[in-house]
Structure 1
């Protein structure tokens, strides 16, 4: 039986989601389709019935919150973040999930990094808020470093964290005032500095990288950001965002079709997609 899936977003020129999902379908010999649907926010309502007719779909910027009214129910992950990036349509019931957190947690585990230790997070919008919450729930001593203009955003995230975990340790600092006299078990970047096409940027100083035992950068294009390159040069454990992107897709397939994949299968797709990014977006050309 043919089933149709899709990715809903607004500007999807650089997305890697279709090839990831197609590879996951191929591994299970499923002849399903996965299309791209580009819509501005004001066009969402007019396309709701089409989306509901799909077997399931993923959601990215700017629709992760806007899609919620079109869901019949929300999984705990979606409620926790008030954000939906995966919808499953079964028996006429449309359930919204947030699989970003699953992808994030799987990536940190695969790195062998300590999410429950001293954790420094750069940026707190969107995916950064999710990373902050997951780190705090894991028991981290969390430092959130943001631009001065984003301090209210970080304060709001801290308030939400304390509501979930009253004894959570969360400190907010300006990104120019990060303490490098202490050691961080994990440095996580959730801001766009270093993302293609402005690949020369690095969100933190060399001193911050040196003070960190492991580094995770949510950016997956380029494959190796300046931050990741510097961390690896210093012998640090480091991972880019492709792992998180693939692992959250794996979770979607588990939800949609009860399909599971081995770590080696997932790692092979991560490496394949990283090479595809390098091929599709050559730096300096």
Structure 2
């Protein structure tokens, strides 16, 4: 078809990715039918030889392990990509390839849709990868941030403090070990893999800590409701899981690609349906 648009996901491996059904639904909600969305499953060793195949797309998503390596193949970086030196979304516009980081947007939009705020007292568990991004967003939004890391991982908070100092934000970030957490928090964020399938009985903090939190956000999306979330809900505390973040970052990709607009109820339904689909796959 003459007006066919081509999109895809670059990563390796891609066996368990949820991206195709998420983007399929988003295209349907947008009213677009003349598109395809393909998986570009290339290893780091293959990428250079396959990059022309990837750049032939009108837009594409990037996941592990190519979020940094892809930068040398594109023309421009949006502010979000510059901030994290990481790209997970590219659009081809006027002959140029522009890279974005929609992970941060997915996190922020998830919180917003759930009615949670990032500018109060925030306790974050873990500070590697996605955790670094979330901690920087917390700093940018004026949070009073405490980061809990296992002993020996204190240095993972260093880049966040450096970012804060370099950009005029407060670098007064408290770093603690899990057994040292005390006090009450407006928001608890689990940015660690603790509680992820198959070790679903694990929890990054004690029940006592959870009881003192106003809202719980867990980046994990498998299982749908982690032990952390279940415990919080047993005390009447609202929660949000990682599938929301995954879907919302895809929403932002479509906004970048085509200016698409969606309503919150459709996205909430999509998040729920993706949980059901994931359960069917297991």
**DSSP 3-state at the match of 1:88:** strand
Who is 1:28 aligned against?
30
1:10–1:39 CA contact under 8 A, matched in 2: yes
Q: Which runs of 5+ in 2 are unaligned?
A: none
For residue 142 of structure 2, the aligned residue among 139, 143, 166 is 139
1:7–1:35 CA contact under 8 A, matched in 2: yes
Who is 1:239 aligned against?
240
User: Displacement of 1:168 after TM fit?
Assistant: 4.3
Matches within 5 A, 1:1-285: 1-31=3-33, 32-179=35-182, 182-281=183-282
Q: Which runs of 4+ in 1 moved over 6 A?
A: none
Residues 4-50 of structure 1, C-alpha deviations (whole Å, 9 max, x = no match): 11111112222111100000011123221111122222221111111
**DSSP 3-state at the match of 2:188:** strand
CA distance in 2, matches of 1:237, 1:216: 9
CA distance in 1, matches of 2:200, 2:255: 34
User: Displacement of 1:114 after TM fit?
Assistant: 2.3
Q: Output the TM-score relative to the length of structure 2.
A: 0.95
CA distance in 2, matches of 1:209, 1:279: 30
User: Displacement of 1:200 after TM fit?
Assistant: 2.0
1:9–1:39 CA contact under 8 A, matched in 2: yes
Q: Which runs of 5+ in 1 are unaligned?
A: none
1:137–1:168 CA contact under 8 A, matched in 2: no
Residues 33-84 of structure 1, C-alpha deviations (whole Å, 9 max, x = no match): 1111222222211111111110111011111111111110000000001110
User: Displacement of 1:253 after TM fit?
Assistant: 0.4
CA distance in 2, matches of 1:155, 1:175: 18
Q: Output the TM-score relative to the length of structure 1.
A: 0.94
User: Displacement of 1:156 after TM fit?
Assistant: 2.3
User: Displacement of 1:161 after TM fit?
Assistant: 2.2
CA distance in 1, matches of 2:178, 2:45: 35
Residues 93-114 of structure 1, C-alpha deviations (whole Å, 9 max, x = no match): 0000001111111111122222
Residues 197-246 of structure 1, C-alpha deviations (whole Å, 9 max, x = no match): 22222111111211211100001111111111111111101000111111
